[in-house]
Amino acid sequence: YESMFQLPKSWSIARTYDEFYVFDRFLRQHFGNAQPFALLPDRKMMCSRSQAFLESQRQHMEAFLNVIA
C-alpha cells in the first residue's frame, strides 16, 4: 500500500529553449534584479544534436531552474 504513494526520485519534463527564454523574460520583467537569475546558455543557431551538446544544454537549463526554485 505504501509503495502506491511514493514520489519518484526524479522528474523529467521536456521543454524547448524558447519556453525557457520566455520564462526568463517574464521573471525579469516582473521581478527585475530582485532575484539572482542564472544565465541561460547562448542559443546556437546551427546547434549540434550530439549527445555531449544536448547534455551540456540540459545541465545549463537544470542550473537555471535550481537557482530560481
Each residue of 16-66: pLDDT tens digit? 888 888 888 888 888 876 666 667 777 765 566 788 888 888 888 888 888
Cell 519518484 identifies what position? 8
pLDDT of residue 65: 83
Cβ-contact 34, 68 below 8 angstroms: no
pLDDT of residue 14: 77
Cα angle value 51/52/58 (rounded, 5°): 85
Does the structure show a pLDDT above 60 at 1? no
pLDDT of residue 4: 67
pLDDT of residue 36: 62
